[in-house]
Amino acid sequence: MTDERAAHTALGTEDCLWPQWRVAPRVQAFVTTRAGGVSGSLYDGGAPGAGGLNLGLSTGDAPNAVHENRRRAIASTGAPEAAWLSQIHSAQVEDAADVLARRAQGEAIRADASVTDRAGVVCVVMAADCLPVLFCDDEGRAVGAAHAGWRGLAAGIVETTGERVARLAHVPASGLNAYLGPAIGPSAFEVGEDVFDAFTSASNAAQRDATAACFKPTSTTGKYLADIFTLARLRLTSIGVAASRIHGGTHCTVTEKARFYSYRRDRDTGRMAAFIWLADDAC
């Protein structure tokens, strides 16, 4: 089974990735690609004449194009707005309803994840190589979205978000499901000793060897190819999420140029976003 499906959304059916997890229907989630919007030039949809769905307002794209792209993406959720964050590569997690209220007052919320147990409140994170991670429990009591760049991942953003969702859902972390969206893949993510040290020093003794194995030395001294997907899986299993409940982690933003934005590949580029929310049971 692929991680895509047809759906009645404001975006085309080929424009998004859809988690294939066996959870309650009220859990709704998707990750955008670069297709389905109105941005041009550097931000296009990867094919001649195709508009790009760049959702980043700080990318150099025309603001009116980004606002239209965001309108299309949000319309796909059925909600009036999403809990957009000012992402800072941290382990800071916020309540999505609180984010919406504070944003309505003009405040920019500096964090890298949001969670909610309220229907119609949309959690969202943006990425263009960093790893988006979506969370839910089986029954759809709570959901969350985390932006896991290497700094945030090493600092514990995945564990913190998962634990927050588990508490809201009143389930142990072992009752969670996680979806790993598109990110820079293990053949493209070259890092230095600082990244290797950040992860291995933060790992407990039981996982240190497995964490170190996520870094393959290159021919350049002090350089490694890092597997951010496996690093995230290790962090998820450390809080009790079973491997069978961790989905996705198959798309590389760098090598799949026609489909995804990649900062590492292009520098001047757009942003995708991962959305998750609880549909109203009455709908």
In the predicted structure, residue 3 carries a pLDDT above the cut 80: no
What is the per-residue pLDDT across 12-53, written as a single tens digit (0 to 9) for each? 767 899 999 999 999 999 999 999 999 998 999 988 889 999
In the predicted structure, residue 282 carries a pLDDT above the cut 50: no
In the chain, alpha helices (H):
63-75, 96-104, 150-155, 157-169, 193-202, 205-212, 228-238, 263-266
User: In this predicted structure, what is the pLDDT of residue 9?
Assistant: 53
User: In this predicted structure, what is the pLDDT of residue 205?
Assistant: 78
pLDDT grade, residue 6 (50/70/90)? Answer: very low
Residues 6+ apart with CB under 8 A from 19: 3, 29, 30, 134, 179, 247, 248
Give the mean pLDDT of 221-239: 97
What is the per-residue pLDDT across 243-275, written as a single tens digit (0 to 9) for each? 999 999 999 999 999 999 999 999 999 999 999
What is the per-residue pLDDT across 114-139, written as a single tens digit (0 to 9) for each? 999 999 999 999 999 999 999 999 99
With pLDDT > 90 as the criterion, what percentage of the chain qualifies?
Answer: 89
User: In this predicted structure, what is the pLDDT of residue 189?
Assistant: 98
> What is the DSSP secondary structure assignment for residue 51, as one 8-state letter?
P
CA–CA separation, 90 and 151 (whole Å): 7
| Domains along the chain with CATH numbers | 16-183+240-278 (3.60.140.10)
Six-digit token pair at 186?
């293990």
